Amino acid sequence: MDIQNIVIFGSTGSIGKNVLEVVRLNAERFRVIALCANTQIDRLFDQCMEFRPLYAVVGDTGRAAFLEDRLRAVSCPTRVKWGGDALIRMAVLPEADSVIAAIVGSAGLPSTFAAAKAGKKLLLANKETLVMGGEIFMRTVRENRATLLPLDSEHNAIFQSLPHDYSGEPVRHGVESLLLTGSGGPFRASTRAEMRDATPEQACAHPNWSMGKKISVDSATLMNKGLEMIEAHWLFGVPVDRIEVVIHPQSIIHSLVRYTDGSALAELGNPDMRTPIAQALAYPERIVSGVGALDLFRLPSLCFEPPDFGRFPCLPLAYEAMRLGKSVPVALNIANELAVQAFLGRKIGFCEIPEIVESTMERMPPVVLDSMEDILLAAEEARRFAVDVIDEKMKSYS
């Protein structure tokens, strides 16, 4: 059995930590050769001590020097690098077999694109790559014969429920539609008035999943389902009007594929990210994940309901952005990213997140995107518009 060399972008985040848990259980199959984080130096130090990667990458030179001094003091051989260029070099390491793309936000685009261009096996958890540059990214994957495997539980469930030779042509394979399930988040039963007073702590208290703050807030606004809808379109080639969001509070069915013959195939399991991570790491084989078996006799009743577009306007905004196309999904993503950051910093209210997204989408002229450079330029323009909108909201909020 060949050992698989892996690079982990975002190793100190929720996805990265779960990847390392799966690696621990399957140490004979995987070797971590690079760990990349931003600011959580203590956690990264502990990871370096345990896994002894060739490289560790951090966000800036100050943190790099601090980490390097600590590693040298204990004779850990890991070499420390810093900055965006270092991330790209990790993505194209000749000895790397698989790259885990789990950096949160638009900061993950360059390294993810670099891994695709290098033809790597790419395990994708960075939503922004497909949301902001789906067409360009998928073309890059095809042209360089990279292997793309989704880590999000919903897309991984769809991947497992599609034919093994699925080629991105739904009609040819009899695929009628995709159903993305979501718990509904912590405010599923809340009124708009209650949500207006929501705190960051309440928004981050997801009922089923343990996730980072940004994605937890996205779950609370249902923006995560909108972003996942855009991702699913690019991953599987299914038109937007045939991708449906279904609220499923128990988070047992992780998504479904409907077929033209009336069948609906689903992937079920306990809500734990180690399951899709293990599936993608070992694909096409299966390995232990550390997740317990689903006990059908102890399951609660499984419930399903349509999302409320009125109470959760981020979801229809994502559908609108995808239908408009061009650079509009970039505006959606950047505005949401900055609005969530402002909310977590208690600078705006929860219900102002979709208002900021909508205003940014309206202000930013849509342009055609032909390259990653175009995506990054559009992101900077969207950032300027979103900052202006947030500044206006902050004045009214205070």
Q: What is the spatial distance between Cα 27 and Cα 66, in angstroms, rounded to a whole number?
A: 29
pLDDT at 397: 62
Q: Regarding beta strands 79-82 and 55-58, do their DSSP bridges make them parallel or antiparallel, or are they unpaired? A: parallel
Residue 329 domain flag? no
Percent of the chain with pLDDT over 70: 98
Structure tokens at 40: 């959580």
Q: What single letter denotes the amino acid at residue 60?
A: D
Measure Cα distances from 109 to 115, 183, 212, 376 in Å: 10, 28, 19, 9
Whole domain around residue 82: which residue ranges? 4-150
Residue 358 domain flag? no
pLDDT in tens, 49-80: 999 999 999 999 999 999 999 999 999 999 99
Residue 262 domain flag? no
Residue 298 domain flag? no
Provide φ and ψ at 246, rounded to 5°.
-125, 125
pLDDT in tens, 220-241: 999 999 999 999 999 999 999 9
pLDDT at 1: 65
Residue 397 domain flag? no
Residue 227 domain flag? no
Which is nearest to 227 in space by CA: 211, 209, 214, 208? Answer: 214
Residue 24 domain flag? yes
Residue 250 burial by Cβ neighbours in a 10 Å radius (0-12, 13-18, 19+): middle
Q: What angle do CA 335, 341, 345 make, to 5 degrees?
A: 140
| pLDDT beneath 50: ranges in the chain | none
Which is nearest to 306 in space by CA: 187, 219, 179? Answer: 179
Domain CATH code at residue 65: 3.40.50.720
Cβ atoms 100, 9 nearer than 8 A = yes
Residue 97 domain flag? yes
- pTM, to two decimals: 0.93
DSSP string, 56-96: EEESSHHHHHHHHHHHHHTT--PEEEESHHHHHHHHT-TT-
Number of alpha carbons in the 13 Å side-chain half-sphere of residue 77:
5
Overall number of domains in the chain: 1
